[in-house]
Amino acid sequence: MDKRLKFTYDINTIDHLGVKLYTMIPPMLAELVSNAWDADAHNVFIRLTNGDKKQISVQDDGEGMSFDELNEKFLRIGRNRREDLKCDVSAEGRPVLGKKGLGKLSMFGIGHKITITSIKDGFKNSFVMDYNDIHNRDKGEYEPEMLCVDEATDEKSGTCITIDDISRKTDFDLENIESGLRSRFKIFSGDFVVHIGDTIVIDDCSISEDSYQFKWIFPDDYKDIKDDLLKFGVDKGVVGTIYTAKTPLKSAQQGIVLFSRKKLVQENKAFDKRGNDNFFLYMSGSFDVDFVDADMHIDNCSTDRKSLAWDNYDNSELEKLKALLEEIVSASQSKWRKLRKEKKKEDLRKKNIDVDKWLKSLSPAEKPLAEKLVNAVIDNNNIDEAQTEDFIDHIKDMYGFKSFQDFTAELEEMDKLDDETAIKLLTDWEIIEAKEYAKISLGRIETINQFEKFIKNDESETKVIQKFLEKFPWILDAKMSSFDREVRYSTLLKENFPEEKIPEHDRRLDFLCSDNNGVVHIIELKRPSVKITEKQLSQIYDYVDFLEQHNPGNIEKIEGYLISDTMADDTKTKKMIKDAERGGIYVKSYSDLLTEARRYNKQYFDLYEEIRERDGVQ
């Protein structure tokens, strides 16, 4: 008797549920891997051949199919295996993944020529299905080309499917295929190994300990959600984890995926009932919802297994699952905002910026706006840690300017200041602050010009230059803001270094003072014409050394400044000048002071000009 296989079909079914539905390789391979799992295979070998004639081969070592099984089960479209066998587990006790009987059609979405070879109990059957031949038949019946029928073999049981006539032009992306397949299952183990070339597919473990910032596990971390939803989830055996990353995730990682019976039933979905929020850029999650695919008759999954049938409102369980997941996501969002805010504050405290302490120090009139500004920065997840630090420093500085008080007074309804407006306020204040600095800088530049005139006119060191530097110490060093006369230290030095022992033209210790940081400065001014030699350097060394040895108070640091426009050019003096800085003694010319002061203060004016040009400020 001539045995033949028969494939009965509707060409529209093949086109819509195969050719058009499966155009990507990972989903198609997932259907074949599912079949291998259901056949109790322990190894699946996927081989991808590039070149002009591309080919995909999927071979497993499962139980295989006999001729009759190929005819009555494999070639039968829409067969519900679980319903047919009245059983939803395999011979080895695996939860059966297949249900619709449509997975075989997925191959026609990738290639038009399919060769199936299956061996069972020592007999091999092999045949070819050609989509073009199937498409050209009128009657809806097709007899595949037989390659062998019940051929005796000593080969082990299993099934091999080869896909040819692939229209793809580019080479197969093995990494993308492996990743796509890995994300669709939780079945890979030593008992079920899928090989793609030389790669072994393992369960998705892309979320490592160091790649997320926070995580919450359902149901343990969600005891505070609505009681009825919590009870529903627990009763239905729903388990899962929500992760939030430190930085925005790739779009393929965002959202929650659902698995049932260890197979993907819902691709990434936000489950957001309140509208879009940047929280979802950071959120990822995975949940097992086995109950949705537990019924052998009811099918809650879409044909391509990309999503559940959420629109089926006759299914109250799906409706309740969706409500549960939305509640979990909403609770996670609140937890995330609170923890992320505390984390930012903690990071700031590690850098000696205590936001809460600073807010407490403000007056009742200042605090409301300050809190809004601080919260706008800390709650804004588009602002990273470094930017947060800069903005908080910026806010604190703002409260030191009179102009800021005037600026905030113009805000008529501070209680309506939302985050977006607050950030704009900070940006606007950048211009105002730059103006303030520009005013200061312009004033300082005028001061520098006046000092330059004193030097050129050879004004008196004691009557003019000394008094000028006492009033504007930043000319000596940009870090100096104010000086306090150190009379007791000056007296001590003069008692031990009497002026009568010093030549008349070099007799002065011009002044000695301390700055806001408690640093004591010994400053000696020389006329521009007085040459700095080893002798003058030795003298200020003696002053510094004496104060360090006979410290009458709690001097933490002593620095010496020796200033003149003329330096000796011998090697020994040059070396002493270079070495002096390591000992906290600075030899500078008046020209150096002027150049450094101009450069330091000009940057503020340049900043203002840059912001004004950028924002079109007049």
Q: What are 506-519's pLDDT values in tens digits?
A: 444 566 666 656 67
Contacts of 368 (CB under 8 A, 6+ apart): 414, 415
The Cα–Cα gap between 374 and 84 comes to 64
Check if 7-201 and 212-335 are the same fold: no
Residue 171 DSSP symbol: P
For residue 438, what pLDDT band results from cuts at 50, 70 and 90? low
100 and 21 Cβ atoms separated by less than 8 Å: no
Mean pLDDT for 317-344 is 92
| Tokens 């393992």, located at residue | 202
Cα separations in angstroms, 115 against 9, 144, 168, 491: 18, 10, 18, 105
The Cα–Cα gap between 484 and 515 comes to 7
Tokens standing for residue 87: 């059983």
The Cα–Cα gap between 105 and 79 comes to 13
The Cα–Cα gap between 197 and 174 comes to 8
Least confident of 102-111, 204-213, 304-313, 391-400: 204-213
Mean pLDDT for 198-202 is 87
Tokens standing for residue 5: 């296989």
Mean pLDDT score of the chain:
79
- Cβ atoms within 10 Å, residue 103: 23
Domain boundaries, the chain: 7-201, 212-335, 351-417, 444-600
The Cα–Cα gap between 247 and 254 comes to 12
Q: What is the pLDDT of residue 497?
A: 60
Q: What are 368-378's pLDDT values in tens digits?
A: 778 888 887 88
More confident residue, 478 or 470: 470
| pTM to 2 decimal places | 0.63
Q: Quote the crossing angle between the two packed helices 316-350 and 367-378, to the nearest 10°.
A: 110
What is the DSSP pairing of strand 123-130 with strand 111-120? Answer: antiparallel
The Cα–Cα gap between 240 and 462 comes to 80
pLDDT cut 90: percent of the chain above it: 26
Q: What is the pLDDT of residue 552?
A: 53
Contacts of 575 (CB under 8 A, 6+ apart): none
Q: Does domain 7-201 have CATH number 3.20.20.120?
A: no
Q: What are 387-406's pLDDT values in tens digits?
A: 788 788 877 877 766 666 66
Q: Tell me how far apart the 2 most distant CA atoms of the chain are, in Å.
A: 136
The Cα–Cα gap between 165 and 108 comes to 10
Q: What is the pLDDT of residue 158?
A: 97
Instruction: Indicate if the pLDDT at residue 431 is higher than 50.
Output: yes
CATH code for the structural domain at 444-600:
3.40.91.30
Instruction: Indicate if the pLDDT at residue 68 is higher than 70.
Output: yes
Mean pLDDT for 329-339 is 92
Q: Is 217 left (phi over 0), alpha (psi -120 to 50) or beta?
A: beta
Tokens standing for residue 14: 């093949």
395 and 426 Cβ atoms separated by less than 8 Å: yes
The fold for domain 212-335 equals Ribosomal Protein S5; domain 2 (3.30.230)
